[in-house]
Structure 1
Amino acid sequence: MATRARRPQRRSEALSRERIVAAAVELLDTAGEGGLTFRALTERLATGAGAIYWHVANKDELLDAATDAVVAAALAVEPTGAADPRDEIRAVALGLFDAIDEHPWLATQLATELSRSPSGTVTPRILESIGRRVRALGVREDSWFLAATVLVQYILGGAAQNAANARVLGPGANRDEFLGTVSKVWEELDPDEYPFIRAVAEQMRDHDDREQFLAGIDLVLSGITTLYVPGE
């Protein structure tokens, strides 16, 4: 009996730049930058290398696109009418904090983007998001750049340090046990050489990383409004 030739199964989704970038982010999350190869992408997307090269020219472009996609999602804070710009800045800051915490590769890639290609999409995207809200605070125009860049430096630096701490501890590590051990060591330091460290040992053990990060945002905002907002 004659049989009909089976047609190759059609992919449910057409290959697009967005699908490629999403797959690249997944590979970066699971295998790091070294695991992001076009061979790995072709296997994940069940396609040929030529189809991927149609959308992205090389690995650097792919890394830039993955970084931009994650940052764009992190910055998707919807202004709400008469919302306080300070609250919006905190929300933007936490969005970036969580994104860098969730994607271990992002801190390094952001540092590379900011220094290597400040005219690319990522740097203007972050600075615009913070800068609009700095302007809404009533900061003097001649201090917009200074205030916005100080905030950006604190946000990215603080988030990157938090992510680095998590990487040092490693997956599955007990943060409370680690901080408890450090706190005990601090408490046993020489009281003449380290009076401050001994005094804050308990506070260090009990601190919350996100609360500490937001406290830094509030300190920076207090300085900005005191120094650069007329009438404050």
Structure 2
Amino acid sequence: MAQRTREDALSRERIVEAAVELLDAAGERGLTFRTLTERLATGPGAIYWHVANKAELLDAATDSLISDALAVDPTGSPEEEIRVLALGLFEAIARHPWLSTQLAVQLSRSPWGSVTPRIFESIGQRVSALGVPEATWFTATSALAHYIFGAAGQNAANVRVLDGVDRAEFLHAAASAWEDLDSGEFPFMKSIAGQVREHDDREQFLTGIDLILTGITAQGRD
């Protein structure tokens, strides 16, 4: 086996991969240059050669995961590509709960960075292909982005809260409690209790995407 060079042994990609592993294990507090150097069995100087600081490292880790999630094979149907793209982002955030917070930071504090333009370009190209008026492109793309990250972020929060808890048992308990609510004060909550007990998070998420797409495409028919 050929001997690995120092550059091969410690690339920016390997540093980012290790950072993602630490973030997955312990969140942002678990990612320090000390823990990173220990995981990579190297010195801090070698890491600083590739990454200037923790903020840059977080940005790079976020960008790496988002780039993978946005890799959608063309199907010729912008609606289907939006569904695939949205589900890819939803599942990425479910696998990496810390990603939700980092995306919120990127979208609000640095919309000129690499992540926000990449997300809006990927969604926006498909929105423009739906044939809706150009004047609505920004609003329609924003509506999809806000729904995707809001729903995915809430799902990630649920995953954290329910860590170690049986999901089916939790939903059954919640549904049962809603069924016991006063019918005069909470008629709607009682009526949907059975749906809560049986629902699938991903199917529910995609139904929301379809509802938004229906609204967006209706504008093209006006």
Task: Settle same-fold status: TM greater than 0.5.
Answer: yes
d(CA) in 2 for partners of 1:11 and 1:108? 34
Deviation of 1:12 (Å):
9.7
SS of the aligned residue for 2:27 comes to helix
What is the rounded CA distance, in whole Å, between the counterparts of 2:81 and 2:88 in structure 1? 10
Does residue 27 of structure 2 align to residue 40 of structure 1? Answer: no
Is the partner of 2:42 in helix, strand or coil? coil
1:78 aligns with 2:73: yes
Q: Which amino acid aligns with 2:208?
A: G
Measure, in 1, the Cα distance between the counterparts of 2:36 and 2:8.
Answer: 15
Q: Could you tell me which of 118, 126, 133 is aligned with 2:126?
A: 133
**Greater helix share, 1 or 2?**
2
Aligned equivalent of 1:182, options 174, 181, 184: 174
List per-residue Cα deviations over 1:184-204 (Å, max 9, x = no partner): 111111110011111110011
The one-letter code sitting in structure 1 at the alignment partner of 2:218 is: T
Q: Find the partner of 2:9 among 5, 14, 18.
A: 14
Structure 2 distance, partners of 1:48, 1:169, is: 37
| Aligned counterpart, 2:217 | 225
Alignment of 1:201-212 (within 5 A): 201-212=193-204
The Cα of 1:14 is off from its aligned counterpart by: 2.5
Distance 1:12 1:18 in 2: 11
| Residue 146 (1) aligns with residue 139 (2) | yes
Picking from 110, 113, 119, the partner of 1:117 is: 110
Output the amino acid matched with 2:58: L
Deviations 1:83-121 (A, max 9, x none): 211000000000000000000100011001111111000
Query: Any runs of at least 4 consecutive aligned residues in structure 1 with deviations exceeding 6 A, and if so which?
Result: 9-12
TM-score, scaled to structure 1? 0.91
Gaps of 5+ in 1: 1-8
Does 1:88 find its partner at 2:81? yes
Quote how far apart the aligned CAs of 1:31 are.
1.4
RMSD value over aligned CA atoms? Answer: 1.6
Which digits, 9 at most, give the CA deviation of each residue in 1:156-211, with x for residues without a partner?
A: 111111111111111x3110000000111111111100111111100111111001
- The residue identity in structure 1 corresponding to 2:82 is I
Based on CA coordinates, which of the two structures has the bigger radius of gyration? 1
Which amino acid is the alignment partner of residue 222 of structure 1?
Answer: T
Secondary structure of 1:218 counterpart: helix
CA–CA distance in structure 1, aligned partners of residues 10 and 190 of structure 2? 58
Partner in structure 1 of residue 159 of structure 2: 166
- Tell me which residue corresponds to 1:108: 101
> Aligned in 2, Cα 1:186/1:43: closer, same or farther, shift over 3 Å?
same
Structure 2 portions without partners, runs of 5+ = none
How far residue 58 of structure 1 moved from its aligned partner, in angstroms, is 0.4
**Aligned residue pairs, count:** 220
SS of 1:120's partner is: coil
